[in-house]
Amino acid sequence: MASNSASQILAITKTAPYSKPRDSRFLQSRKPYLNLCCLSQKFSNDNALFCLPNSKSFLLAKELEERNSNNHSPTLREICQDHVPGNVLRRQVSAPPPSPSTICTSLLLEEVGYLVPTDVQREALPVLFSGNDCILHAQTGSGKTLTYLLLIYSQINPKKSAVQALIVVPTRELGMQITKVARMLAAARHMDPELEQNSYTVMALLDGGMLRRHKSWFKAEPPAIVVATIGSLSQLLEKQIFKLDSLRVLVVDEVDFLFKSSKQVSSLRKLLTSYSSCNNRQTVFASASILQHRRFIHDCIQQKWTKGDVVHVHVNRIMPMPACLYHRFVICGRKAKHQVLLSLLQSDLPESGIIFVGEQSEKSKKSGQASSTTVLIDFLRASYEGPLDILLLEEDMNFNSRAASLTDVRKGDGYLLVSTDIVARGIDLPETTHIYNFDLPKTAIDYLHRAGRTGRKPFSDERYYVTNIILAEERFVLQRFENELMFHCEELTMEAQG
């Protein structure tokens, strides 16, 4: 045990391996430690006791000590618990002190290894905790999910049996991922015996799910948090299976994508204005790409999607893509593309990679042609001799096969995922070291989101690679993306380019 009387930091170590965030079962098994953390919190907010799983806790405690003594920027927990020196914003609006649930959640974050806030968390959390609506506009992989989930856990009342927070997402895959993180955070209630008696349930109301089962769930005990795709959500709202009267927080993730989608935009507008009112809720819009954001903010206020004092938190405004990404391109003939990809895989030796392929046109589908993804998968299965699993994920697969692919990807053995843009938005696979654009994306924004599937370890100083395999006549398209997104793409020359 190590202690330091000045900063009042204690570390108790255990031999169990330290790791990244885990699921709620792991956290439940760590309940005694979490309770202890909570107890220390109850005795005094200034004296924190950290019970961490192994010798890394000494390092963590040491880092905290140094932060305390050197007046470093605040930790994530300090921001959540309003221990930030000079946090003028919150004092100005005299927001209520942090709830027990916020305290537990922030302790849990530290317990699972989230110590330092990312830029967007440092900038946005005080704004959100002070009650403002917010547009979270920050690079891919910058930690926007945790930012809005922390707001949600600070706002919901576990004693209330009603839907209090709603997160709208564009795809089932992203919804499942966010549900998992939300459920992980819900485990924080085990840190406070009072909270523990009341559950924070998180429902995934996603396309391809069993709506009948969801209906019974709503009737029996409405969940506190719902993560939903707009199609399934609208069906249940129209049938009045549940209402949004008690909604405290509404989050629309990948907001620009949803507003751009002709299928989803009218339901989204209805949700923002007819099914709930911006005056009764806190509204958060998140994305790494909000084109014409001034216009968007104007619309938000004008259309009453948000309150008039909505805050635009825009992080890294002059650099839309993470600096850790290294962009390259190879020019080759159409027929040589497969072979070039294979050579790249052999020379790059990615730990894990995603290969983006364009979607098959309706015309090509009707004429019975095999899709580019199928042709590429068959080629890789026949010729790739490396250690990575070759997996496929595309819209045309059924929901079960899509889920199975993502489960396999997350097993952690290393993967080469061949996919269309379905995984380009929001999907968090931090092990991905390489992105290959086998086909160029249609727009610069699509490029930004595809590229952003790598470089997703906020404090890592590793380099990640985005490689474009292009035809000579596509060079000007890539150049346009470079100008628009302000990045430089280096040419790779290879043998066998055909």
Ligand X SMILES: Nc1ncnc2c1ncn2[C@@H]1O[C@H](COP(=O)(O)OP(=O)(O)OP(=O)(O)O)[C@@H](O)[C@H]1O
Residues near ligand X, by CB under 6 A:
76, 114, 116-118, 121, 140-146, 288, 426, 428, 430, 452, 456, 458
Q: Pick between residue 77 and residue 214 the one whose CB is nearest to ligand X.
A: 77
Q: Nearer to ligand X by C-beta: 190 or 453? A: 453
Pick between residue 22 and residue 304 the one whose CB is nearest to ligand X. Answer: 22
Q: Which is nearer to ligand X, 242 or 259 (CB)?
A: 259
- Element spanning 166, H or E: strand 165-169
Nearer to ligand X, 76 or 233 (CB): 76
Q: How far is the CB of 221 from ligand X (least distance, A)?
A: 28
Cα 201 versus chain centre, distance: 19
Distance (Å) of CA 472 to CA 323, 331, 334, 440, 460: 27, 6, 10, 12, 35
How many Å apart are CA 138 and CA 143, to the nearest integer?
A: 9
Closest separation in Å from C-beta 435 to ligand X: 12
Instruction: Measure the CA–CA gap between 131 and 248, rounded to whole angstroms.
Output: 11
Cα–Cα distance, 440 to 355 (Å, whole number):
11
For ligand X, the closer of residues 144 and 189 by Cβ is 144
d(CA 470, CA 368): 26
User: How would you class 402 by CB atoms within 10 Å of its CB: exposed for 0-12, middle for 13-18, buried for 19 or more?
Assistant: buried
Nearer to ligand X, 52 or 76 (CB): 76
Question: Smallest gap, in angstroms, from Cβ of residue 491 to ligand X?
Answer: 27
Please list the residues that pair with 2 across neighbouring strands: 11
Smallest gap from residue 140 Cβ to ligand X (A):
4
Continuous H helices in 188-253: 193-196, 211-220, 230-238
CB of 4 to ligand X, least distance (A): 24
Whole-angstrom distance, CA of residue 293 vs CA of residue 314: 10
Contact call for residues 390 and 418 (beta carbons, < 8 A): yes
Nearest-approach distance from CB 333 to ligand X, in angstroms: 33
Question: Smaller CB distance to ligand X: residue 353 or 452?
Answer: 452
Q: Check if the beta carbon of residue 467 is closer than 8 Å to that of residue 448.
A: no
Of the pair 60, 380, the CB lying nearest ligand X is at: 60
Residue with token string 């049938």: 239
Q: Report which secondary-structure segment, H or E, holds 329.
A: strand 325-331
Q: Measured between alpha carbons, how far is residue 277 from residues 49, 201, 271, 272, 303 in Å?
A: 42, 23, 9, 7, 11
Closest distance to ligand X from the beta carbon of 115 (Å): 7
What's the min distance (Å) between Cβ of 94 and ligand X?
A: 27
Nearest-approach distance from CB 153 to ligand X, in angstroms: 14
